[in-house]
Structure 1
C-alpha cells in the first residue's frame, strides 16, 4: 500500500490546494468537508492517478470525526492536514449562540479530537506528518471576529505545546501553517463581504498551500505565509493588545468595506 493522507476542509480553498499537492506527491487521499461539493473535488484529485475517497461529515461534532476515522478502515495515516475551519463576523453580542459554538466546535474541539485519534498511532509507530492550519489571526485580538481569532490563538498555542510533548517521537512532525487573509470562501461564509478585509485583495490559496506543504515536508515547526503577514505577525508580538484590537476593528467592522 502507498502513502495515505487525510485532508480536512478539502472542498475549496487552502484544503483543496493541499489535497492537490498531496495527490501530486503520490499520496492516496481521504478528503472531507461538510458539503456535497467534496465529491466533485475528489473527482478533480483523482486525475493525479491516486486513490481518492471523499466523505461529507460535520467535523464540529465528535460523531463526524468518528465517521471520518472509521472510513480509513484502520489504514495507517502517513499525513494529516487538519485544515477544516469556520469563521464568523460581526460583534460577539450580535451573534447567535449556535453560530459561535459551531466555530469553536469546528476549529477547536473537532480539530483536537481528530488530532487525538490520528497522532496516537503516529507516535506509537514513530512515523507521520501533521499540518495544522492556524492563522496570524491568533496573534491579534479580533474585534468583530472575536471568537474566530480566539480559536486560532488556541490552535497556534496548542500546536506548539503538542510538538514539545511528542518531541521524543523523532519520526513525527507537527507543522503549523499560519496564513493571513486568503482568497477562499471563508469571508462569504463568515458574512464578512461588507468589511474592509472581506472586500480587499487577499493571498492566493495555492501559494499559501504550497508554503504550508514545503514547510511540512521540511519538518518545520511553523510557517507564516507571505512576507506582509510575516511583518504583521512580528509586529503583533510588540504592539499593545488595545492597539491591535483597534486596528482589527478597522478591518473587520461591518460596513468598513464601503470606505474602500
Structure 2
C-alpha cells in the first residue's frame, strides 16, 4: 500500500503553516516525512497517523548541517521517491539590527537560507533523476519590501523568493516544478518567537488562517504554479499592490508595522 501512495516531506511541521501543510498533504493521500526541532512534533505526527497516514517524524535542527543530513537520511531510509516537498521551516528576529544579538541574526540565515538551500539540493537530485516532483519553498510577502526592524528576516525571504524562481527556470524542461509560497501575516507563533509581540504587526487582531494558507499553497503546488500569495483577500491585494511602490515607501510602511513600541519616538 505504501508504494502506491506518494510521499511528501514537510519541514517546520510541528505548528503553524507547516503543521497545516502536513495535514493537507495527509488529507490528499500522501504519506509523510515531517521535521521540526521541538517536542511538539511528536503530537503532530501522532495526529497524522490517526488519519491513517504513514508518518516518519524527524526531530532535527535544520539550521545545522548535521540536522539537514539527519532529515535526508530518514528520507532515504524510506526507500521511496519524494513526490513533493514543502521547505517551510523558518525563524524571524525582530528588533533594531544593532540591538539584536548577532547570533540571532545568524540563526535566521542558517535556517531560512542555508538549511533551505542544503535540503533543496539533496531532494532535487532525486526528483530530477526521476523527472518528477514538486517543490514548495515558503517565502513571504515580506520578500517584496525592505524590512526595518526585521531586516535579516525580510532579506532572507527575498533570497528564497529569488532562489525559487531561479530553480524553476533551471528545471523548466524537466518534470519538476518549483512553487514559491508567499503568506502574509498569519496566526501562528512566529511573531512571539521573533520577539515581535510589542509591534503593530504582532498585535494585529485579524491575521490569516494557517489552514487557508496551507490549502492555497497545496493547490498552487499541485497545479505547478510559479508562486502563490496565500491566505486572505487582503494579503493577496497587498502582494499585488506592493510591487508598484518605491522601496523607500515600502520601507517606511514596514517600519510602521514592525517597529517595537519602545523604539518609537
Compute the TM-score of the two structures, normalised by the length of structure 1. Answer: 0.96
The within-5 A match list for 1:33-52 is 33-52=36-55
Pair 40,257 (structure 1): closer, same or farther in 2 beyond 3 Å? farther
Q: 1:75 corresponds to which residue? A: 80
Q: 1:61 corresponds to which residue? A: 64
- CA deviation string 1:58-79 (max 9, x = no partner): 0011110000000121432111
**How far apart are 1:257 and its partner, in Å?**
11
- Structure-2 separation of matches of 1:75 and 1:94: 46
Question: What secondary structure sits across from 2:82 in the alignment?
Answer: coil
1:235 and 2:238 matched: no
- Structure-1 separation of matches of 2:211 and 2:9: 18
Identify the match of residue 96 of structure 2 among 91, 95, 112.
91
- Structure-1 separation of matches of 2:148 and 2:41: 32
- Provide the aligned C-alpha RMSD in A: 1.4
Please, which runs of 5 or more residues in structure 2 have no aligned partner? none
**How far apart are 1:95 and its partner, in Å?**
0.9
Q: 2:180 corresponds to which residue? A: 176
Contact 1:196 1:257 in 2 (8 A): no
Misfit runs of 4+, over 4 Å: none
Identify the match of residue 127 of structure 1 among 127, 132, 137.
132
- Structure-1 separation of matches of 2:35 and 2:130: 25
- Structure-2 separation of matches of 1:117 and 1:94: 36
1:191 and 2:201 matched: no
Compute the TM-score of the two structures, normalised by the length of structure 2. Answer: 0.94
Matched length: 257
